[in-house]
Amino acid sequence: MVLGIVVIVVLWGGISDAINVQTFLSEDPYFTYETSLTGIREHSEKADVYKTDMTVLEAASYLAENTNPEEYSDLNNEEYVSFMYEDQYVFIYAGEENKTYVQASARQYAYHGSSRLYRSRNYGAWNFFRDYYFIKGLTRDTHRYGGRSYYEYENYQLSTARNTKTTIPSETNTINTKKPTTKKSSTNQTTKSTNDSGVSARRSSVGTRSSIGGGTSFGK
């Protein structure tokens, strides 16, 4: 009987680490739902887009510490950062009018073909979004989802092969292959105050999170 209880506790602990990022973003006070996008193929998955007052660096550091991603790209990139999860793909990018957007979807959204990014200010961001998935997620998802992927259908090539301007010089020095070293903070988040201003207020709301926006390097 005691052994059964122990097994249940262990399994519950594992389940709790499998965070649904879209739910996290919808409930977190620092992110506001903006719109949803539908993939380019029939019956495609949808992606939800959220807006935040954080910079790309701040939002990337925040998600890395609080959502347990499997892998992510360079957290010091001020324009865009990719996060890969077991079943989800999240992309943070700089948008028009200095806004920061976070796009969250099932990995199938990228597999079957995504729409262009919502109000992105940098065309290279969409190249990176597709390139990162092509390198880090496609092979695995081909076995999971089957059928022809967007990448096979389009005979896709990396943006560098297409001579398209982007900040991806190579896989090894741009895409982080290490798993995150941080785990979700146990500190409960407080409701965002209407007079919240700047990074300092955001830091205090998550307790132990340190130097958001560049002071801490995750997985490098």
Q: What is the pLDDT of residues 30-80, one digit of tens each?
A: 999 999 999 876 666 899 999 999 999 999 999 999 999 999 999 999 999
Domains held by the chain: number: 1
Residue 189: give the domain boundaries.
17-205
Judge whether 218 lies within some domain: no
CA angle 131, 134, 136 (to 5 degrees): 105
Of 26-30, 39-43, 81-85, 167-171, the poorest mean pLDDT is in 167-171
Kindly state whether residue 162 falls inside one of the protein's structural domains. yes
**81 part of a folded domain:** yes
Residue type, 118: Y
pTM of the predicted protein model: 0.68
| CA distance to 2, 87, 105, 106, 130, per residue, from 146 (Å) | 42, 15, 18, 15, 18
Flag whether 7 is in a domain.
no
